Chain A
Amino acid sequence: DVKVTQSSRYLVKRTGEKVFLECVQDMDHENMFWYRQDPGLGLRLIYFSYDVKMKEKGDIPEGYSVSREKKERFSLILESASTNQTSMYLCASSSSHVKTGAGGQPQHFGDGTRLSIL
């Protein structure tokens, strides 16, 4: 079974801090994704990566950056945390298929990190 592990379930940080959220998957998946989930807004894609050292902006990349130095690990960085970044953050991974690309295969999710910025 695919396992996607997020480093923290709960995290409390202060405004202005640099925050790192870590995600590791154990199924050799090419694609990895970071979402934030807010009530009434569903999941919104922040960034995704389809290969090591590759990254693509999602729908709401402002205020965030990512790093993928190894295939199994995808990090989300809040450069200078703000209160409006308080949210649930979900990491996911998926395999690629030549016919369906990075978006076509089912995604496997971690249990999320509930981040509070004070």
Chain B
Amino acid sequence: SQQGEEDPQALSIQEGENATMNCSYKTSINNLQWYRQNSGRGLVHLILIRSNEREKHSGRLRVTLDTSKKSSSLLITASRAADTASYFCAAHGYQKVTFGIGTKLQVIP
């Protein structure tokens, strides 16, 4: 069954604006990770947040994790046209990873 769910499923913003994507998951995790997928390509790892962390930054990316609500958010600040892609959260357990269905982000120049 699908564990992670991203919200919204599609997002369209102007270049320079911030983009926020949310993710929910159902079971306990070691960590939660966000991946990006350009059209027709494989997924690329963006950022990892451990279950005992609440917030993590990497460049223009900010991730938060609320294990009590089993949810995470990804914020991309000052978006660029090159950020146009699909973004997936992945709930990483000890043996398995469960991916969400993704948020398709379009950044309009």
Contacts and interface: CB of A to CB of B under 8 A. Distances in A.
B24 to A, nearest CB: 13
Interface size class of chain A, counting residues whose CB lies under 8 Å from the partner chain: 20 to 34
A44 B73 CA distance: 21
Interface size class of chain B, counting residues whose CB lies under 8 Å from the partner chain: 20 to 34
A55 to B, nearest CB: 12
B1 interface: yes
B31 A45 contact: no
Given A106-B33, A108-B45, A112-B41, 15 more contacts: A33-B97, A40-B101, A44-B99, A50-B95, A56-B95, A90-B42, A92-B42, A92-B43, A100-B31, A103-B92, A103-B96, A110-B42, A111-B40, A112-B40, A112-B42
Interface of A: 4, 33, 35, 40-45, 48, 50, 56, 58-59, 90, 92, 100-104, 106-112
